[in-house]
Amino acid sequence: MDGATPLPVLEYLRRQLAGTLRSSDTTHLRYPTAISRLLGLELVAIDVREASLRIEADPELHGNQQGTIHGGLLCELADAAIGAAHSTIIEPGQSFTSIDLKATFLRPAWAGTLTATARASHSGRTISHYGCDIVRGDGKTIATVTSAVMTLSGESAKGR
């Protein structure tokens, strides 16, 4: 690092999306996350407490016994979108963690583009709640996910 001040997460991710992120730009959180790189999750929209991520789902990589996309992948896609949305308000010296996640599966997906869009439904100082819809390429919702996220500050955030 060249001594530049780290960018706020939202600015960092906006630059990433716009293609204007410089190699010297940093933020205090890790982006892209390791799991997003591993799975090929792509950020497609970002705003304060809102994010959309997508994946090109392949049943050969992401399928279950029936040949449809595994529910665990859908949960990870939603969790990553929710995490990206919440990270937009996290400041240096803070961290956050999911404290629950509930998925409702509505219909299957076999392959193709899946997009998860997360938005805060309640924004508290410590606990925030998010809703996330996952849609297939045909625009049909395949799952809805809700999650509570806890913001940690001070000593509670150290090492997280």
Q: Is the pTM here over 0.85, yes or no?
A: yes
Q: Please give the DSSP secondary-structure letter assigned to residue 101.
A: E
What is the overall mean pLDDT for the chain?
A: 95
According to the model, what pLDDT value does residue 1 have?
44
- Kindly write down the DSSP assignment for every residue of 121-149, as one continuous string: EEE-SSEEEEEEEEE-TTS-EEEEEEEEE
The answer, yes or no, to whether residue 43 has pLDDT greater than 70, is yes
The answer, yes or no, to whether residue 4 has pLDDT greater than 90, is no
Residue-wise pLDDT for 48-87, tens only, equals 999 999 999 999 999 999 999 999 999 999 999 999 999 9
Work out the angle at residue 29's Cα, subtended by the Cα atoms of residues 31 and 144, and round it to the nearest 5 degrees: 70
For residue 4, what are the β-bridge partners?
none
Average pLDDT over residues 115-125: 97
Relative to beta strand 94-105, strand 42-47 is unpaired
| 3-class state of residue 38 by DSSP | helix
Residues above pLDDT 90, as percent of the chain: 92
Average pLDDT over residues 136-140: 98
| Domains observed in the chain | 9-157 (3.10.129.10)
Q: Where are the beta strands (DSSP E) in the chain?
A: 42-47, 50-57, 94-105, 112-123, 127-135, 141-153
Residue-wise pLDDT for 98-111, tens only, equals 999 999 999 999 99
